[in-house]
Amino acid sequence: MSHFLQEADAVVVGGGVIGASVAFHLTCAGLRPVLCEGLDLASGSSGACDGLVFLQSKKPGIHLHLALESQRRLEALRCVLPMEFEYLRRGGLVVIGDEAEYAAMERYVTAQRQNGLDVRLVDGCEARRLEPALAAGTHAAAYSPLDAQINPLRLTFALAAGARRNGARILTRTRVTGFERRAGAICAVATSRGSIQTGTVVLATGADTPRLASLMGLDLPIRPRRGQLLVTAPLAPLLRHCLISAHYIAVKYDPALAARDGASVSMEQTERGNLLLGSTREFAGYDRHTTVAGIQSIAAACTRIVPALKTVQVIRSFAGLRPWTPDGLPLLGPVPEVPGLLLAAGHEGDGIALSAITGALIAEWITSGHPHIDVQDFSPARFSDRASPKLAVNGIAS
């Protein structure tokens, strides 16, 4: 253990897109963090997801505001990070199935426009002119030229490479097993390869965050929400835009519409031509297997929207665990009960899109104590009535 013993300005736990972004932004602020990843970079949900930077799916208000700023930052990062990450601003369509969905989307789009998003409703003809692959009977769609896509694996690797270049230590196969505290405050992190002295820890462990937080007596309301995805063989250009179904938004935000038939759909065509077709939203514990029922529901829903998919070859399927929270918003910032601990977790289906702004905000908290925007809505303390901190003072919790 002793050869490994070291100190760090901060320890970031988790090598997904969020941890990599936090580590990178800390180095931009002049710190030298250590990032500990138990397996490999992007081995959690950041390596088992789509790469949509879909602004239309963000709640009007602070959620959309963060997403807009995150997108601007992602675009700027293309010139800063040492690796390309296949960012494509294709524009996006939210495909509306019928009049009931249209009525809900009308309210939603109005609120988004009031919040500064360039988005408009189009009828079925206009939707098919924009995206000829859509089914002949397409009812309507919401269109924004701003929606984009990214390769999430490459983004994670690029952020980690940028952090390493700026002086961070990226330790893979290094599992965090406990936290040492003095007078309640964090003073060291125990890992499978030794201990690291630090006064600042950022938990960026996605759906695993409650397990780690429980080592400090915290009960966080983050739960794994499985999403299954299909990958097709590479195809000639088929989709001009990123697509989701209005049902996808309904499932996220409107329980009444979510109860209706039909799976949530997301579709994107990667730079190499493969289509990513998704996805389910299921509470199945930490089970990352795909299921026949899940695969069939995705295939049925996608082929209804884009009939040409009926003849394409699916080459694989996989599942990831979204870090779900009860209000659909992440937990960002300091945890008052444990001085030195910050959370950057619970991004559900938005972690890729919100990665850049999350890293920037956490770095601001650590270096100045004040992020440049008011993010009270994301405070971990908002669940403190549900959480039941049972804090151990002094000693290693493991």
Options 73-81, 139-147, 198-206, 377-385: segment touching ligand FAD (CB under 6 A): 198-206
Amino acid at 209: T
Strand order in the sheet with 6-7: 6-7, 194-197, 185-191, 176-182, 395-397
At closest approach, how far in Å is the CB of 100 from ligand FAD? 25
Q: Is 11 helix (H, G, I), strand (E, B) or coil?
A: strand
For 19, 169, 172, 207, 255, the CA distances from 190, given in Å and listed in that order, are 18, 16, 15, 20, 42
Q: Is 243 helix (H, G, I), strand (E, B) or coil?
A: strand
Find the binder of ligand FAD among 9, 10, 12, 16 (CB under 6 A).
Answer: 16
Q: Does residue 359 interact with ligand FAD by CB under 6 A? A: no
Q: Does residue 195 interact with ligand FAD by CB under 6 A? A: no
Q: Is 327 helix (H, G, I), strand (E, B) or coil?
A: coil
User: What distance in Å separates the CA atoms of residue 174 and residue 242, rounded to the nearest whole number?
Assistant: 36
User: What distance in Å separates the CA atoms of residue 107 and residue 249, rounded to the nearest whole number?
Assistant: 12
Find the binder of ligand FAD among 33, 206, 224, 359 (CB under 6 A).
Answer: 206
User: What distance in Å separates the CA atoms of residue 293 and residue 285, rounded to the nearest whole number?
Assistant: 17
Amino acid at 85: F
8 Å CB contact between 138 and 313 = no
8 Å CB contact between 287 and 228 = no
Q: Hey, what are 49's tokens?
A: 């997801």
Q: Hey, what are 258's tokens?
A: 């979510």
Q: Does residue 205 interact with ligand FAD by CB under 6 A? A: yes
8 Å CB contact between 219 and 330 = no
Nearby residues of 311 by Cβ (< 8 Å), 6 or more positions away: none
At closest approach, how far in Å is the CB of 103 from ligand FAD? 26
Q: Does residue 213 interact with ligand FAD by CB under 6 A? A: no
At closest approach, how far in Å is the CB of 382 from ligand FAD? 18
8 Å CB contact between 176 and 38 = yes
At closest approach, how far in Å is the CB of 311 from ligand FAD? 24
Q: Does residue 320 interact with ligand FAD by CB under 6 A? A: yes
At closest approach, how far in Å is the CB of 278 from ligand FAD? 5
Residue among 250, 284, 283, 285 nearest 264 (CA) = 250
Q: Does residue 279 interact with ligand FAD by CB under 6 A? A: yes
Options 86-94, 254-262, 318-326, 367-375: segment touching ligand FAD (CB under 6 A): 318-326
Q: Name which of residues 55 to 114 contact ligand FAD (CB under 6 A).
A: none
CB nearer to ligand FAD: pick between 51 and 102 = 51
At closest approach, how far in Å is the CB of 19 from ligand FAD? 5
229 forms beta bridges with 278, 318
Find the binder of ligand FAD among 349, 365, 375, 383 (CB under 6 A).
Answer: 349
CB nearer to ligand FAD: pick between 49 and 338 = 49
Q: Does residue 180 interact with ligand FAD by CB under 6 A? A: no
Q: Does residue 39 interact with ligand FAD by CB under 6 A? A: yes
At closest approach, how far in Å is the CB of 362 from ligand FAD? 12
CB nearer to ligand FAD: pick between 52 and 239 = 52
Q: Which residue has the tokens 């700026």?
A: 166
CB nearer to ligand FAD: pick between 340 and 349 = 349
Q: Which residue has the tokens 């097993």?
A: 177
Q: Does residue 250 interact with ligand FAD by CB under 6 A? A: no
At closest approach, how far in Å is the CB of 224 from ligand FAD? 9
At closest approach, how far in Å is the CB of 15 from ligand FAD? 5
Find the binder of ligand FAD among 32, 169, 175, 382 (CB under 6 A).
Answer: 175
Q: Which residues bind ligand FAD (CB under 6 A)?
A: 13-19, 36-39, 43-46, 48-52, 175-176, 204-208, 212, 227, 229, 278-279, 320, 322-323, 345, 347, 349-353
